[in-house]
Amino acid sequence: MEARIELPGTAEQLDSVIGFLSSFWADAGLPPGGQFPFELSLEELFMNVAMHGSAGAETPRTVVLALRADGTTVTTVIEDDGVAFDPLNAPPPDLESDIEDRPIGGLGVYLVKEMMDRVDYARVDGRNRVTLVKDVAE
């Protein structure tokens, strides 16, 4: 099963992104417990586009979200038309210091990498493309 949605990269669209994922998950008959890593990952990546890619732009970036289920393997592709930016190159977060001594931010992309079986970035046809793959078998 496959599904695709295109929407503006604004924070107000986050509910639409999560609703799209939830509908796809139910329609594909995927295990309910496997959805959370995708929710968290999409929230992180979509909000990065909304907060950084669309910030200061005359119009919001366009985000394309594609989902595919092949058995229990789910692939998610999120693309935006912003300037080239590879979120996977972020430095690893400080996990050793006390929480109050750590800088704000940096954990989101780390969590995405930890929760997924595979995370890739590519610049394709002038668009940022992040691909997430995970086997969600219970």
Expressed as residue numbers, the domain containing 26 is 2-135
Amino acid at position 22, single letter? S
Q: Is the pLDDT of residue 99 over 80?
A: no
Give the count of domains, the chain: 1
In order of 20, 33, 35, 85, 97, the CA distances from 16 in angstroms are 6, 20, 15, 24, 36
Read off the CATH number of the domain in which 7 is found: 3.30.565.10
How far apart (Å, rounded) are the C-alpha atoms in residues 5 and 1? 14
Q: What is the pLDDT of residues 14-56, one digit of tens each?
A: 999 999 999 999 999 999 999 999 999 999 999 988 887 766 6
Amino acid at position 88, single letter? L
Which pLDDT score is estimated for 60? 84
Q: Which of 86-90, 100-104, 129-133 has the highest mean pLDDT?
A: 129-133
Residues 6+ apart with CB under 8 A from 44: 108, 109, 111, 112
N-term to C-term CA, the chain? 19
Q: Are 42 and 17 in contact (CB under 8 A)?
A: yes
Q: Are 135 and 69 in contact (CB under 8 A)?
A: no
Question: In which band, very low, low, confident or very high, does the pLDDT at 126 lie, cut at 50, 70 and 90?
Answer: very high
Q: In what order do the strands lie in the sheet with 118-124?
A: 2-8, 62-70, 73-80, 127-135, 118-124
